[in-house]
A = this chain, B = another copy of it.
Amino acid sequence: MYAVKAMPRPRSLTPAQLASAALAVIDRDGLSALTMRAVAQELGTSPMALYRYVADRDELEALVVEEVLSTVDTAAPPDESWQDRVGVLVQRMRVAIGGHPAVVPLLPVHRHRSPTVLRWTETVLGVLAEAGFAGTRRVVALRALLAYAVGAIQLEHLGPLSGSGTDAMAGLSPAEFPHLSATAADARRVRPDAEFDGGLDLLLRGLAVSSD
């Protein structure tokens, strides 16, 4: 028999546990409650134990982002038109994020590191390619879709919800802001889903026209 190597003490946690504990903290107490100490407490260990699994707080945040995004189905949907297929892909992303609104501010920062985002982007590009988009036009189309998705999701979740937004809108003097105060009334009647769909539809129409 060969000499038995010193048995490494088994890890007591997995990155997946880290991610879901951190997400639980955020969902329950908000993004500002996400601290190394809070996540450690959630897992019943000491704060420093986390550093066996992540290099720093930044990496913990990236883990949370991927935890949320990993639920997105990145397979190409079966719909007939390419507009519908792109629309479904964007909607899947929106729905996944909508379940955890408090993580929204983390998304722009950590989007790059997410394997799910890479696969999602690959699928979107495939649909666009089939639809005849190539070269610069495809780059512009992709970035426009991403920009709209990122922006619309943020507007939806860091928007009027924060409270002071709607208040400021409601207290506008119709004399100084005629269009704005008129639109504020209309805006209250538009459901977030319809707003998101409507904007996405505008962009998809623009893409369709540009491909003529």
Interface residues of A (CB under 8 A from B): 105, 108-109, 112-113, 118-119, 121-122, 125-126, 129, 135-136, 138-144, 146-152, 154-155, 158-160, 162, 164-165, 168, 172, 177-180, 183, 186-187, 189-190, 194-195, 198-199, 201-210
Contact = CB atoms under 8 A, between A and B. Distances in A.
A11 to B, nearest CB: 26
Q: Which of the listed residues A119, A151, A189, A198 has the most CB atoms from chain B within 10 Å of its own CB?
A: A151
Contact of A203 (B108, B126, B202): B202
Nearest to A179: B125
A16 B87 CA distance: 45
A183 B140 contact: no
A141 B205 CA distance: 13
Contacts of A155: 108, 143, 146-147, 150
Nearest to A207: B202
A194 B189 CA distance: 36
B150 A154 contact: yes
Contact of A113 (B119, B135, B168, B177): B168
B109 A164 contact: no
A154 B118 contact: no
B143 A199 contact: yes
A162 B62 CA distance: 14
A158 B109 contact: yes
A205 B162 CA distance: 32
A8 to B, nearest CB: 30
